[in-house]
Amino acid sequence: MLPFDILEYQARVNETKQRMEEQGIEVLLITDPANMNYLSGYDAWSFYVHQMLVLIIDQPQPIWIGRHMDALGAKTGTWIYDENVIDYPDYYVHSPTHHPMEFIAEILTQIGQANRRIGVEMDNYYYTAKAHAQLMRHLPDAVFLDADLLVNKVRLIKSEQEIEYMKRAGLIAEQAMYKGRESIRAGARQNDTAAELYYHIVSGTEEYGGEYPAIVPFLPTGENTAIPHLTWSDRRFKEGETVSIEIAGCYKRYHVPLARTAAIGKPPEKILGLTAYVTEGLNEVLQKIKPGMTCEDVNNIWKASIHRHGIVKEARLGYSVGLNYPPDWGEHTASLRSGDQTILQPNMTFHLIPALWFDNYGIEISETIKISDTGCETFTNFPRDLIIQDRFTTNPQDGKIS
């Protein structure tokens, strides 16, 4: 039932414990849902209430603590023994009088962990300022340490099974892009294209059913292509507009993002010119990237390439990607940018998104890659160019494509 062999989970736990030891952490409170899944297999949309995995340096099994109605999912969907699944009653949920971290502090006290060195994921969405304040208040004898990204760093290099899941996510992303693009034409509504993209992302392939990606499809259109994180509206596409499409395929919570830009009708000259610069830069990066380089080195290849065309771009070229939950598929560890000295190693995986955004237009063409022994491999196979949608015209009689 679990997506990985129990030995793989145990190896992940052991590597996490090694890092805990290096950082002087005896108890690690894991609130990032991707990290919870990574170490235990737990997978449910229950992260909107407080929950965590507790990893104790001298105990073999993690402990899951969460809401009563979610506990059965932790029992059936993880490799953790049932007695290590502990739940709090519903009156702790969104309550003005009870906070789940009071309950959790009480449990940690009962199991003798109240005076230890406790690591917490300080900058994770699911570890709020109040969660931290409550824990500190109710565990006055503990020493709190920032363990943000500790598990994320273990996640940086993927196993062969993780790479296999990403390949499946790549097939799904590629297919969704092919099918979704067909719906882009003058007169069609943006949301109907988003619906098509979603349908194919979730339906997946015949062999591999898709899951919900950590981010919804981005579909900024026309002047809004200058604003990367817009989703969609119910406005209709117009002849002459461009559309940036950024999606991901997701399989067993592993993501392969893919972005392309589509032109409806004949693309403006400036878009064609920009596209040539972006693909040239991206191709150069894909050719030259290899293990042993730093993240900064990779960004420098891209910067030098666009600099030849007089373009300077401040935003990072890309970031580490893989297992995740909303609101982000990025792993928040390695970024391909100036100053990041992370050394590339085989089976690291990155989303390269060498986008260019200007005042009222932008171009996005991306690839997700794994670092191989000698270079890199892309997870998708979709023409690395502008999508030109002038093959399609809407028949005014029946509204159907002709």
Name which position in 202, 272, 276, 286 contacts its own copies (CB under 8 A): 202
Regarding 195 and contact with its own copies (CB under 8 A), the answer is: yes
SS3 call for 43: coil
For residue 326, the SS3 value is coil
Asked whether position 131 contacts its own copies by CB under 8 A, the answer is yes
User: 226, 286, 293, 311: which one contacts its own copies (CB under 8 A)?
Assistant: 226
| Cα atoms found within 13 Å of the Cα of residue 369, Cβ hemisphere only | 28
Is 39 strand, coil or helix?
helix
In terms of phi and psi (left: phi > 0; alpha: psi -120 to 50; beta: otherwise), the region of 348 is beta
Closest CA to 322 of 169, 197, 208: 169
Within 335-354, which residues bind its own copies (CB under 8 A)? 335, 337-339
**Helices 160-181/190-203 angle, 10° precision:** 150
User: Smaller CB distance to its own copies: residue 69 or 304?
Assistant: 69
Residue 4 in contact with its own copies, rule: CB under 8 A: no
Q: Assess 89 for contact with its own copies (CB under 8 A).
A: yes
Q: How far is the CB of 374 from its own copies (least distance, A)?
A: 28
CB of 297 to its own copies, least distance (A): 17
Considering beta carbons, is residue 121 or 162 the nearer one to its own copies?
Answer: 121
Helix (H) or strand (E) holding 17: helix 6-22
Q: How near is the Cβ of 113 to its own copies at its closest, in Å? A: 19
Report how far residue 255's alpha carbon sits from residue 33's, in angstroms, rounded to the nearest whole number: 15
The candidate with the shortest Cα–Cα distance to 247, out of 231, 227, 233, is 231
Residues 107-126 that bind its own copies (CB under 8 A): 120, 122-126
> Which residues lie closer than 8 Å to 117 by C-beta, 6 or more apart?
24, 25, 26, 27, 142, 143, 145
Residue of 6, 143, 227, 401 interacting with its own copies (CB under 8 A): 227
Which stretch in 187-195, 260-268, 293-301, 371-379 sits in contact with its own copies by CB under 8 A?
A: 187-195
- How many residues bind its own copies, per CB under 8 A? 82
Nearest distance, CB of residue 125 and its own copies, angstroms:
5
Residues 236-295 contacting its own copies, CB under 8 A: none
Contact call for residues 316 and 324 (beta carbons, < 8 A): no
Measured distance between the N- and C-terminal CA atoms of the chain, rounded to whole angstroms:
46
Regarding 328 and contact with its own copies (CB under 8 A), the answer is yes
Q: Does 387 bind its own copies (CB under 8 A)?
A: no
Residue 13 or 34 having the CB closest to its own copies: 34
Please choose, out of 204-212, 260-268, 270-278, 390-398, the segment that lies near its own copies by the rule CB under 8 A: 204-212
Choose the binding region for its own copies from 157-165, 293-301, 315-323, 369-377 (rule: CB under 8 A): 315-323
392 lies in the site for its own copies, by CB under 8 A: no
Residues from 54 through 83 that contact its own copies (CB under 8 A)? 68-70, 72-73, 76
According to the binding rule CB under 8 A, does residue 311 interact with its own copies? no
Of positions 239, 357, 377, 384, contacts its own copies by CB under 8 A: 357
3-state secondary structure 334-382: EEECCCCCCECCCCEEEEECCCEECCCCEECCCEEEEECCCCEEECCCC
User: Taking a C-beta distance cutoff of 8 angstroms, is the pair 335, 316 a contact?
Assistant: yes
Q: Give the pair of three-digit tokens for residue 242.
A: 């461009």
In this structure, are residues 280 and 305 in contact, taking their beta carbons and an 8 Å threshold?
Answer: yes
Closer residue to its own copies, CB minimum distance, 13 or 138: 138
Q: At its nearest, how many Å lie between its own copies and the CB of residue 191?
A: 3
- C-alpha atoms less than 13 angstroms from C-alpha of 341 in its C-beta half-sphere: 0
- Binding residue for its own copies (CB under 8 A) from 155, 200, 260, 303? 200
Look at the alpha carbons of 157, 160, 164, 165 in this order and tell me if their dihedral is positive or negative: negative
